[in-house]
Amino acid sequence: MKFRKIEGGVTAAKGFSAAGISCGIKKEGKKDLALLYSHRPAAAAGMFTRNRFQAAPVIITRRHLATGSARAIIINSGNANACTGEQGLAAARRMAELAAAPLGLLPEEVLVASTGVIGVPLPLEKIEAGIAVLVGELSPAKGQEAAEAILTTDLVVKTTAYQLEIGGRTVTVGGMCKGSGMVCPNMATMLSFITTDCAITAPLLQKALRHTVNLSYNLITVDGNTSTNDMVLALANGAAGNLRITSENEDYHRFLTVLQRVNTELSQKIVRDGEGATKFLEVTIKNAASFADGKKLAMSVLNSNLVKTAFFGEDANWGRIVAALGQTDVPFDPAKVDVFLEDLQVTARGQGVPFDEAQAAAILARKDIKILIDLHLGEETVTAWGTDLSYEYVRINASYRS
């Protein structure tokens, strides 16, 4: 399939506008309020955190998605509006109402997202004043500003967009996301917003989103922690003019492929911007008995503090890798396990093998490192992504509220 990577991010698809401003939630005038708007009705889908403490915007957005359609997403950063009780739910509902009114929408057509400190009441008066400005700023050229406004400890803006021919029409899928710390599967601490001008039914959009999330955002980790606010939302407004996708036909699978490309790239950008990260680690479990087993093993390796600190210290301590595999409840034969750092084998049949320490040092000095673990058991291959653990991660999270 011929993909074309293009500029424009979350507003690259036809019929979408965005804006991002500072309304005073964050210090130093940093952008903290964003709005994403579809100029025409859009099918909508979402995936959410599995943390039992679910933030007010997660609860309200789940309810609004029940219709399978939406026109806008209002997002604030700097305050999670989580663990805030009825007051928080009322504030999330009010955010939807405030964004809906000037756009001529029903509140149920607006989805709500928040990110930031947990347990602090949302400064609704600041958001109310900000939304009045925000709506006037909406433009297809303001996607970058919106992407800036959703960041918290992120160091870089994360956007992407691709085009692909579907049904003889050019379909665009774009997106923006945030995430840097408190990142682990079941949606990481992240927000991601996907827009497309593809015409597709809401149930199929939801199915495609679920499939691609499980192979992207749910295969990343920075620190093994799942947040209260995580969500991935997708809007599909049909402005590309392709024949509406109503079944899992060839057009659906083409759409699925480009959606996967976008979500995989965005999820990897989250890992690369992981708090304090100096390494981007790719762990592949080869010849696992099942996808679930492969995922559990990969995440055990990537979430091991001992593995993470070994890579930070550039120490080829393969024993920590096999120990992380063995501490899971996944059945496998340790005597069959091979481990490679890039193309350098460090473990064969569950035992250490002599290897060139200079070659290992050169590999571990890289920013991007691939770890291959062959179980010699089944036929499933699973790849996941994570980071090392540095002094900087501790510094950032020791003083997060300040």
What is the number of alpha carbons within 13 Å of residue 181 lying toward its C-beta? 19
Is the separation of the CB atoms in 189 and 118 below 8 Å?
Answer: no
Continuous H helices in 123-201 = 124-137, 143-149
- Whole-angstrom Cα distance, residue 256 to residue 263? 10
Specify whether 189 is catalytic: yes
Strands (E), 146-200: 158-166, 169-178, 191-196
Locate 295 and state its tokens: 């995922």
What is the pairing mode between strands 380-387 and 280-288?
Answer: antiparallel
Task: Say which DSSP state 334 is in.
Answer: G
Residue with the two structure tokens 């890579």: 311
Q: Which of 189, 212, 221, 347 is catalytic?
A: 189
Tokens of 388: 């090392």
Relative to beta strand 231-236, strand 191-196 is parallel
Do the beta carbons of residue 6 and residue 172 sit within 8 Å? yes
- Backbone torsions φ then ψ of 235, nearest 5 degrees: -120, 135
**What is the DSSP code string of 211-252?**
HHHHTTGGGB-SSS---SS-EEEEEE--TT-PPPB-SSSHHH
Kindly list the catalytic residues. Answer: 189
